Amino acid sequence: MINEIREPLVFEISAAGKRAVELPALDVPEKRDLLAGVPVRREIEGFPEVSETEITRHFTRLSQKNYCVDMGFYPLGSCTMKYNPKVNERLCALPAFAGSHPLAPADLVQGNLELIKTLETCLCRIAGMDAFTLFPAAGAHGELTGMMLVRAALEARGNARKIVLIPDSAHGTNPSSAHICGYTVREIKSNEKGTIDLASLEREMTDEVAALMLTNPNTLGVFESDICRIAEIVHSRGGLLYMDGANMNALTGIVRPGDMGVDVMHINLHKTFSTPHGGGGPGAGPVGVKKELEPFLPLPVVTGKKDGRYALDGDRPRSIGRIRAYYGNFAVLVRALCYILSLGPKGVREIAEYAVLNANYIRKSLEGEYDLKYKTPSLHECVFSDKLQKEYGVTNLDIAKRLIDFGLHPPTMSFPLIVHGALMIEPTETESRRDIDIFIEAMKAIAREAKENPQVLHDAPHVTYVRRLDEVAAAKFPVLRWEKKD
Ligand SMILES: *Cc1c(COP(=O)(O)O)cnc(C)c1O
C-alpha cells in the first residue's frame, strides 16, 4: 500500500529564451497600419518560458494529482457529486446555445426562451409549484432570492415580520441567507429521531415569524414525516414554509414539495439535474413558488405570447427586481432540461429510487462497523460517526484520509453539526453495485485497521503527493498564479 512517489519535485521549470512554438519569420510585407489604433501586445512580461513538452507534462502531472468524479467514487454527502452524462455537455456546447449573445433581442433567441419556459414547466410538474425562476446562480443564491420573495409577499400582506426559524440540522447557507435578507434567525432543536421537534415549533412559531426554512429530506437524509402538520402550524400563524430542496434527488417523481404545503423552495440543478460541480463552478438554484408569491418573481420573466412567440416581460411592478445578469447560468439550464427530457417521467422517478437504494445499501452494509447516531430510516444519504473508532484513538479525519489510500474520495466530514465526528455518505443514483462494494470493503478494512494498527490511519494518506496539509492556510492563502521570481 505504501508507495513512495518518485517524481521530479521541480515546479519551477521556466528558463529564459525557451519557447513552446517557434513560428517562421514573416515573409510578406508587414501591414502594421491594418491594426492602427488597436492596442497590440508584442511581448508579454513575466510569463514562464517553457518548451511544449515541459508545459504539456506540467499540466498533465497537475491534473493527475487531482481526484474527480470521472476517476472514481465521490461520496460527499449533501454535495451530491454524481456522474453526469457527457451528452449533456455536448448539447449545451452547441454553437446556437454557446454562441448566442446575452443581449440579443427576444426575437433572435426564441429557442433559448422556449428552453427556459419548458424547463420551468418541467420543474413545476416535478416540484408541484406554480411558477419557477431559473436565474439564481447557486443554491445559496436561490435561498436569498426565496427569502426576498417571502419578505415581499409578507410586506404585501402588511407585515414583513422579523424572525426566521431554522432547524439545527440545516446547511450553513440557510441562516446566512435569512440573515442577509434582514431576518433574525432562531434555531429549532431536532428530536431523538433527527427530525423537527413539533413542540418546539409550536412554541417558537409566533406572529413575529416570517418563515420556517426546512430542508427535506434533512441533512441526515431523514424525511420530515410530519411535514404536513409542520406546514399547518406555520400557515396557521401566518408564516410561510420555505423548503431547501437541494436534496431533491431523494424525492423526484415520488413526492412533490408543493403538495406538502411548501410555499417557496429552491432546487440545485448542479446536484439533481446534471451539472458537474465542485471547485465553485457555475451552478443554478431555481426558485419555485406558489401563486401568492408569483407577482414578486425576479426579472425578467419569460412569457409565451398569443401568436406563439416568447417574450421577456420586464413590466412587473411588484417584482423584487433583477437578481442576476442576463439569463443566469444558461448552459446549466440546457443540461438540466436535456437530463429531464432524456430520462422522461419514469427515469426521473428512478433518480430518487436508485439514490435511496444505493445509500441504504451502504448504510446496511456498514451498520455495526460504524456508529449510526440516528436510527431513523434515511433516504439518499446516511450519516455515520467515528464513535466506535474513537476507542482506538482514531478520528473521522483519519478514516477520511485513509480512504484516499484506497483510491477513493472521502465522504463529507463533521457535518451535520448535530452528529459529532460525522461521516456523511451519499453515493447518488449513478454508482454501480461494483463501485459501491469497493467503497464498502475499503470502509470495513479501515474499521479493522482502527483496531489492529491505528498508527497506519494516523499517518494516512500514504500515497499522495502531499500528506496532511494545512487546510486553513490552503483555503485562506491559495497560490493561484505563477509569479516570476527574480
Ligand atoms: C449544497 C446545499 C446548499 C447550497 O447550495 P450551493 O449551490 O452550494 O450554494 C444548500 N442547502 C443544502 C441542503 C445543500 O446540500
Q: Mind listing the pLDDT tens digit for each residue in 424-467?
A: 999 999 999 999 999 999 999 999 999 999 999 999 999 888 88
Q: What is the CATH number of domain 346-474?
A: 3.90.1150.10
Question: Higher model confidence: residue 485 or residue 250?
Answer: 250
At residue 72, the pLDDT reads 92
Quickly list DSSP for 410-453.
--EES-STTSTTEEEE---TT--HHHHHHHHHHHHHHHHHHHH-
- Is 280 a residue whose pLDDT tops 80? no
Q: Whose CA is nearest to atom 14 of ligand 1?
A: 246
How far, in Å, CA of 143 to CA of 141, rounded? 5
Name the residue of 141, 214, 218, 244 to mutate for ligand 1: max ligand atoms within 8 A of Cβ: 244
At residue 465, the pLDDT reads 82
How far, in Å, CA of 188 to CA of 199, rounded? 10
Domain ranges in the chain are 1-65, 86-341, 346-474
pLDDT digits (tens, 9 = 90+) for 325-340: 988 999 999 999 999 9
Q: Rounded to the nearest whole angstrom, what is the distance from the C-alpha of residue 137 to the centroid of ligand 1?
A: 11
Q: Rounded to the nearest whole angstrom, what is the distance from the C-alpha of residue 279 to the centroid of ligand 1?
A: 14
Q: Rounded to the nearest whole angstrom, what is the distance from the C-alpha of residue 270 to the centroid of ligand 1?
A: 10
Output the CA–CA distances (angstroms, integers) from residue 283 to 141, 153, 269, 349, in the order listed.
10, 27, 7, 22
Name the residue of 80, 141, 171 to mutate for ligand 1: max ligand atoms within 8 A of Cβ: 171
Q: Whose CA is nearest to atom 3 of ligand 1?
A: 139
Average pLDDT over residues 369-385: 97
Of the candidates 406, 131, 471, 469, the one whose C-alpha atom is nearest the C-alpha of residue 292 is: 131
Domain 86-341 - what CATH class? alpha beta
The atom of ligand 1 lying closest to the CA of 215 is 13
Coil, helix or strand at residue 367: strand
At residue 268, the pLDDT reads 97
Q: Whose CA is nearest to atom 6 of ligand 1?
A: 139
Coil, helix or strand at residue 362: helix
Which amino acid is located at 82 in the chain?
A: K
At residue 13, the pLDDT reads 87
How far, in Å, CA of 173 to CA of 285, rounded? 13
Q: Whose CA is nearest to atom 5 of ligand 1?
A: 139
- Is 386 a residue whose pLDDT tops 80? yes
The atom of ligand 1 lying closest to the CA of 78 is 15
**416 with 383: CB under 8 angstroms?**
yes
Beta carbons within 10 angstroms of residue 24's beta carbon: 5
At residue 66, the pLDDT reads 84
pTM reported for the whole predicted model: 0.91
Q: Rounded to the nearest whole angstrom, what is the distance from the C-alpha of residue 245 to the centroid of ligand 1?
A: 9
pLDDT digits (tens, 9 = 90+) for 133-172: 999 999 999 999 999 999 999 999 999 999 999 999 999 9
**Average pLDDT value for the chain:** 93
At residue 6, the pLDDT reads 54
Residues in a beta bridge with 188: 167
Please report how many Cα atoms fall inside a 13 Å half-sphere around the Cα of residue 145, on the Cβ side.
33
Question: Who lines ligand 1 at CB under 6 A?
Answer: 78, 138-140, 171, 173, 215, 219, 244, 246-247, 268, 283, 285
Q: Rounded to the nearest whole angstrom, what is the distance from the C-alpha of residue 380 to the centroid of ligand 1?
A: 15
Q: Rounded to the nearest whole angstrom, what is the distance from the C-alpha of residue 171 to the centroid of ligand 1?
A: 7
Q: Is the dihedral of CA 145, 149, 155, 156 positive or negative?
A: positive
- Is 110 a residue whose pLDDT tops 60? yes
Name the residue of 173, 177, 269 to mutate for ligand 1: max ligand atoms within 8 A of Cβ: 173
Beta carbons within 10 angstroms of residue 141's beta carbon: 21
At residue 42, the pLDDT reads 75
Residue 468 DSSP label = S
Q: How confident is the model at residue 2 (pLDDT cuts 50, 70, 90)?
A: very low
Q: Whose CA is nearest to atom 2 of ligand 1?
A: 246
At residue 61, the pLDDT reads 86
Cis ω on the peptide bond leading into residue 295 (within 30° of 0)?
no
- Is 471 a residue whose pLDDT tops 60? yes
Cell numbers describing residue 170: 440545516
Q: Rounded to the nearest whole angstrom, what is the distance from the C-alpha of residue 389 to the centroid of ligand 1?
A: 29
Q: How confident is the model at residue 314 (pLDDT cuts 50, 70, 90)?
A: confident
At residue 114, the pLDDT reads 95
pLDDT digits (tens, 9 = 90+) for 115-129: 999 999 999 999 999
Q: Whose CA is nearest to atom 1 of ligand 1?
A: 79
